């Protein structure tokens, strides 16, 4: 029994002396419970809608007020449907409601009218929830008008689902799974490879050479960047063959976006490796950051539904930008101009992290 107690004491001493693991033991549960629970909500809290009213009647304004009364809906009014469609494409809108000309007159005459709702269905779950809100409000609107003596033919809202018309959840999840795949492989392997050289002592042979620090970090980063792109293409090929994943955009744009995304991600991994001594430390810390990156990236739940402070915290999450890039290219056919903001943010992020990783790498024998 004494031997077991001594072993337990030894383990606790080792943990206490390990400056990398000790903070994680306390930081991980705090961050997971205080940040991720809020970030993984599936509630709709912010739906941006454009209301195109071509009728400008009292009845069309009543329906506008109905939708505007919903807490989670934020309405704007654009007269040109082309502007609204552009904003829907650029992810600034979640839905566009179009009320046709003579809407009120045709309703009162008992003629058929076709108000239309176009919904961004990249996230099929969100699209179904938004559709449910519109259907409920539309039925309440008709019931109230009928109570006031207006008689209608059978009327139904016409829905159109953009970017994922089949509402296939696989098409929505596959880009996210690809993002996780290349993040896991790139971040874990690059970090462990770096520290493995420290453990084996082979890094000391490099340290006594005139190789500069930025050259060494670049030599560690570039091979795993290439491996990440190969993994992406392999995963995309499997998704295409297995369930027909649509690839609407340009494959070259996707490879460019992936390469830019991997620079800050691998830079973070090399930064962690530069201050760690063991592979277990690197694995544990990388897993900690990856978990936060994945759950807050908007892959499972919309970022717009997270609290404001969580949305602002996401600016430090490289996967937050990449999820927009890969889903935008595969499902919406986004061009470089469409994703230019994300590419610029990731480029600046990559330069900063690369400089920090280079600075933290101590070239000592």
Phi, psi (degrees; rounded to nearest 5) at 260: -65, -35
**pLDDT tens digits along 136-165:** 888 788 778 777 766 665 566 677 777 877
- φ and ψ at residue 120, rounded to 5 degrees: -70, 110
- pLDDT band with cut points at 50, 70 and 90 for residue 214: confident
pLDDT 10s digits, 266-312: 999 999 988 888 888 888 888 888 888 988 888 777 787 788 888 88
Q: What is the pLDDT of residue 263?
A: 94
Neighbour count for residue 54 (Cβ, 10 Å): 14
pLDDT tens-digit series, residues 98-122:
888 888 887 777 777 777 888 887 7
Question: Six-digit token pair at 133?
Answer: 């809100």
Stronger pLDDT, 250 or 21, i.e. the higher one: 250
Give long-range contacts, CB 8 A cutoff, 24+ apart: 33-37. 35/292, 35/296, 35/310, 35/313, 36/291, 36/292, 36/295, 36/296
The pLDDT of residue 325 is above 70: yes
- pLDDT at position 107 is 73
Q: Does position 323 have pLDDT exceeding 80, yes or no? A: yes
| C-alpha span between 118 and 159 (Å, rounded) | 6
User: 26: Cβ–Cβ under 8 A, 6 or more apart, which residues?
Assistant: none
Q: Is residue 78 predicted with pLDDT exceeding 70?
A: no
By the 8 A CB rule, do 276 and 282 touch? yes
Tell me the C-alpha distance between 84 and 217, whole Å: 46
Confidence (pTM): 0.73
- 353 falls in which pLDDT band (50, 70, 90)? very high
């Amino acid at each position: 029994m004494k031997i077991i107690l001594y072993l337990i004491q030894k383990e606790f001493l080792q943990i206490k002396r390990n400056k990398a693991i000790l903070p994680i033991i306390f930081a991980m549960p705090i961050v997971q419970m205080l940040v991720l629970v809020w970030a993984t909500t599936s509630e709709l809290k912010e739906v941006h809608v454009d209301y195109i009213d071509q009728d400008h009647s009292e009845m069309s304004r009543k329906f506008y007020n109905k939708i505007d009364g919903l807490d989670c809906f934020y309405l704007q009014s654009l007269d040109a449907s082309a502007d609204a469609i552009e904003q829907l494409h650029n992810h600034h809108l979640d839905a566009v409601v179009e009320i046709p000309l003579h809407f009120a007159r045709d309703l009162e005459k008992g003629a058929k009218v076709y108000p239309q709702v176009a919904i961004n269905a990249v996230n099929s779950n969100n699209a179904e929830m938004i559709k449910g809100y519109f259907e409920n409000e539309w039925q309440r609107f008709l019931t109230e008008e009928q109570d006031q003596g207006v008689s209608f033919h059978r009327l139904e809202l016409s829905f159109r689902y953009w970017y994922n018309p089949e509402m296939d959840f696989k098409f929505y999840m596959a880009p996210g799974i690809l993002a996780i795949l290349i993040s896991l492989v790139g971040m874990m392997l690059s970090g462990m490879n770096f520290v493995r050289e420290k453990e084996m002592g082979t890094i000391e042979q490099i340290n006594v050479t005139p190789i500069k620090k930025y050259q060494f970090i670049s030599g560690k980063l570039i091979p795993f960047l290439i491996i990440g792109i190969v993994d992406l293409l392999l995963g995309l090929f499997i998704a295409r063959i297995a369930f027909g994943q649509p690839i609407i955009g340009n494959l070259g744009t996707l490879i460019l976006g992936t390469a830019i995304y991997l620079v800050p991600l691998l830079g973070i991994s090399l930064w962690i490796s530069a201050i760690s001594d063991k592979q277990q430390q690197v694995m544990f810390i990388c897993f900690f950051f990856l978990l936060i990156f994945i759950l807050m990236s908007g892959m499972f739940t919309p970022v717009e539904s997270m609290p404001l402070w969580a949305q602002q915290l996401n600016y430090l999450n490289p996967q937050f930008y990449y999820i927009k890039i890969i889903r935008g290219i595969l499902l919406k056919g986004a061009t470089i101009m469409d994703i230019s903001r994300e590419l610029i943010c990731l480029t600046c992020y990559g330069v900063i992290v690369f400089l920090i990783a280079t600075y933290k790498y101590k070239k000592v024998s």
